Amino acid sequence: MQRRTFLKSLAAGTAAGLFAAPLPKAKITRVRIYQPPSLNRTINQSNMLVAVETDIGITGIGEGGTKDLLEQCAGSLIGKNPFQVERVWQHMYIDWFYPPGREKVHALGAMDLALWDIKGKAFQAPVHQLLGGMVRNHVECYGAPRTGAGGRGFVPEGSAGERLRDLARATMEAGFRCFRMDASVGGDIPDRVFNTHERVRLVAAACKSAREGVGPKGDWMIDLHQKFDYADALRTCKLIEEYEPYLVEDPVRDEHAHQDLPKLRQMTTVPLAHGEEWGQRYDFNKLVENHDIDYARCTLPNVGGITEMLKIMALCETHAVGIVPHFTGPIATAALVHCLGTFSGTVLVEIGANQVLPPYLPACHDFKAGKLWPNERPGLGVTVDFKAVQQVAEVTTAGMSRIYHRPDGSLTHW
């Protein structure tokens, strides 16, 4: 079925009610991979672009991954029905038998975003409508304004005293929910030597300044950024309790989180957040189930896309744990609005450098007054100027698929 014929039939069905028209038979025919002009080479923040094309003329847009892993995931898409999102996700996950690590899950998530974009465009509806609809008017953000904070929305290293108070005050005035700083504040770090034992009291003094800056009705948070071992993390948390942080992020090393966070939870009253390096829910489900954290820092596409994030949302909702996603690329940020906009629990998005859209994205997420706003554009609501990005790969043939099927047709391991 051609795109024009399909859209005419969909329009006729929509007149009788949303989603009244049946989805057509469709196949994924090609995946193109693009590199943007300002490539973020930090893998878990990758802004590589993917365009998943179908034989009904609808193309889905996703973001994340690296060229080699995107090519491998793309091979699992060719010839598949783009509307069977969960089934295609399982193919990408098990086609090569060995379970993917966090880097491949990131690429898998990029493809998943594109599949949801296709489905939304097919229904001529925003993805958030497919997920049950928005439960909030906007998505709250944290960070710092681009002006006066190094131009990127992050607090400069070494900020302290009056400068920190001014940045915190400006963040509240810009409409952000929360002012964010990390443990590099409190004074200079000569020769990049970070003495955690000495730093604890400098950080505590910086937290006092942040509280003074946001005022009694404002909020602030600090990212310890895994710089501290358990003892110094505990000292820091205890010293800043009186300044009432919104949360303390990544207080200990990720490798030690499962053994240290449960102890830390019992020893301090500050809310704890962890997990910007996490992938799927198996990385942290026990910490959520035991309520050893107050906020999970999982994000898109890192967890494996919207398909996996929906399962994380259910897990967090069950145990009253909020979701505070780390920033990634702008398209993933748009997807976060669609996905987490439907989550009933607390949501706070790190906007980071995504306060301004790059030139190759004339339409993406809508950020203003310190908040992310939903829109009604079909799919993820993203438009790409493909002339402004560089195509680096194209996949048109199916890849390896080492799988078996259960008697009912569902997938199982080879």
Write the pLDDT tens digit of every residue in 356-371: 999 999 999 999 999 9
Residue 7 confidence (pLDDT) above 80:
no
Q: How far apart are alpha carbons 77 and 232 in whole angstroms?
A: 47
Average confidence (pLDDT) over 185-210: 92
| pLDDT tens profile 281-302 | 999 999 999 999 999 999 999 9
pLDDT of residue 144: 80
Report the pLDDT value the prediction gives residue 116, as an integer from 0 to 100.
98
Q: Are 324 and 295 in contact (CB under 8 A)?
A: yes
- pLDDT value at 146 more than 70: no
**Token representation of residue 391:** 């195509």
* pLDDT tens by residue, 237-273: 999 999 999 999 999 999 999 999 999 999 999 999 9
- Pairing, β 178-182 against β 247-249: unpaired
Scan for tokens 């409409």, then name that residue.
Answer: 175
pLDDT higher than threshold 90 for residue 174: yes
Phi, psi at 190, each rounded to 5°: -65, 135
**Segment 373-387 mean pLDDT:** 98
Instruction: Inform me whether the pLDDT recorded for 321 exceeds 70.
Output: yes
243 vs 118, 183, 251, 357, CA distance in Å?
46, 15, 17, 34
pLDDT over threshold 70, residue 4: no
| Token reading at 251 | 């207080």
Query: What is the sign, positive or negative, of the torsion defined by CA atoms of 28, 337, 376, 362?
Result: negative
Residue 148's pLDDT is what? 45
Q: What's the CA gap between 31 and 53, in Å, rounded?
A: 6
Q: What does the pLDDT look like over 52-103, one tens digit per residue?
A: 999 999 999 999 999 999 999 999 999 999 999 999 999 999 999 998 999 9
Q: Residue 407: what are its φ and ψ, rounded to 5°? A: -55, -30
Contact call for residues 372 and 128 (beta carbons, < 8 A): no
Measured distance CA(230)–CA(239) in Å, rounded: 14
Q: What pLDDT is recorded for position 113?
A: 98
pLDDT digits (tens, 9 = 90+) for 9-28: 555 444 444 555 688 899 99
Q: Look up residue 94 and give its amino acid.
A: I
Q: What is the pLDDT of residue 310?
A: 98
> In the structure, what pLDDT confidence band is assigned to residue 1 with cuts at 50, 70 and 90?
low
Q: Across residues 39-63, what is the average pLDDT?
A: 96
CA distances from 234 to 93, 196, 243, 283 (A): 38, 12, 15, 23
Q: What is the percent of the chain with per-residue pLDDT over 70, rounded to a whole number? A: 93
Using CA atoms, how far residue 58 sits from 3, 14, 121, 289, in Å, is: 7, 18, 7, 40
Quote the percentage of the chain above a pLDDT of 90.
Answer: 84
- Tokens 């604890």 correspond to 200
